[in-house]
Structure 1
Amino acid sequence: MRADAARNREKVLEAARELFASKGYDVPLDEIASRAGVGPGTVYRHFPTKQALFQAVTEARVAAMIASAEQPWTDPKEALFAFLGRMADEASAKRDMSDAITVSPELRKNLHAALGTLLHRAQEAGSVRTDVTATDLVILMKGMLQSLHEGGNPAVLLEIVLNGLQSSRKP
């Protein structure tokens, strides 16, 4: 890809990230092109459909979340809770986040694995309930994210989830 084409692709992705986050999936591609400072043809050259553009944006965001799970932490519970907090923050700031959780099977598998690793470390440290599975957390987070479409308060819901995860025993 030529350097100018790569720059234009990145401009389109950045504009799409901002507009999908603020306006949801229904934002017109012409508006994305305008925000990126390119013509509509440039958008279509890189992304033949709105779905392809949306997919690229959401997969990049989920990949960044997965990468954040690998950051070094001294407290495993803090690492898990920070990851869940980032998911909630993304959800409250970006209306399309609940759709991003249902991305490609490989990315979904990696997200579940990252969450599972963080959960396991916190459980080994004795600070998180041992009867909770990564699948349980995924289902809880999906429900919390979906609640945004119904007016749910992600901060309150996250607090409920985090309080429910804490182990009653002292590590």
Structure 2
Amino acid sequence: MSDATALRADAQKNRELILSAAEALFLEKGADVPLEEVAKRAGVGIGTLYRRFPTREALLAATSNERFLSLAQSSRARDPDHTPAEAVRAYLEELASNTSAYQSLAASIGTVIQCGTPGCTAITAEGHRLLQRGQDAGTIRRDVTYEDFIYVVTAISIAIEHDRSSTSRIRHLVDLFLNGISVTAPDAPPIPERVDVQK
């Protein structure tokens, strides 16, 4: 084994140790656990941790990578059996549930999903696809953005963080949001366009 190969193998081992330690501690103590504690449990220096994961959000994105990839894959697989509105509902419910995997993750999920991991990229692309599909089908208002999805998922996840017994309410809370973004019936008053007020 060459020195370069040995270094790569050592770096990969350290990465796996950090991710394993982070996953365990995030589940035990929440996403805001001190990163020094993660490094200590992984058996590496804090500098080693930061070289591989320069921010807490980058580490959270890495530990969430497989869950996000799986969520995006299962969401796309639902297309044949779900209407656009049903697919958006299922996506939001699953994303809220995943965002609640670690205590305190919800507060930073908007930043976490921008970290560029395969999982973050996949979950974001899937959300944009479902939103466009719903708007093209005429079931979701045109002024709704993917950022609106994330704001609502954040709010729902923060709400259930403080009452773990309320996780069954995710569907109810998602439904309240979907009722607000759904296109109104033909005989209902039109929804006003979003207006930017100049101050």
Q: Which interval holds the TM-score relative to the shorter structure? A: 0.5 to 0.7
Residue number among 12, 15, 18 corresponding to 1:6 in the alignment? 12
Question: Which position in structure 2 is the counterpart of 1:80?
Answer: 88
TM-score by length of 2: 0.60
CA RMSD of aligned residues (A): 3.8
Deviation at 1:33, TM superposition (A): 4.1
Question: Which position in structure 2 is the counterpart of 1:98?
Answer: 107
Q: Equivalents in 2 of 1:46, 1:106: separation in Å? A: 16
| 2:131 maps to 1:119 | yes
SS in 2 for 1:2: helix
Report the structure number with the largest CA radius of gyration.
2
Q: Tell me, which stretches of 5 or more residues in structure 1 are unaligned?
A: none
Q: Tell me, which stretches of 5 or more residues in structure 2 are unaligned?
A: 1-6, 186-199
- The answer to whether the 8 A contact 1:29-1:40 is kept is no
Deviation at 1:99, TM superposition (A): 0.7
Q: 1:168 to 1:106 in 2, by over 3 A?
A: same
Q: Equivalents in 1 of 2:109, 2:65: separation in Å? A: 7
Question: Which position in structure 2 is the counterpart of 1:55?
Answer: 57
| 2:56 maps to 1:45 | no
TM-score by length of 1: 0.67
**Once the two structures are aligned, what percentage of the paired residues are identical?**
30
Q: Equivalents in 2 of 1:98, 1:119: separation in Å? A: 23
- The answer to whether the 8 A contact 1:123-1:130 is kept is yes
Deviation at 1:13, TM superposition (A): 1.2
| 2:140 maps to 1:129 | yes
- The Cα offsets for residues 31-71 of structure 1, whole Å up to 9 and x where unpaired, read as 434544xx242x5323259x835222223336863774363
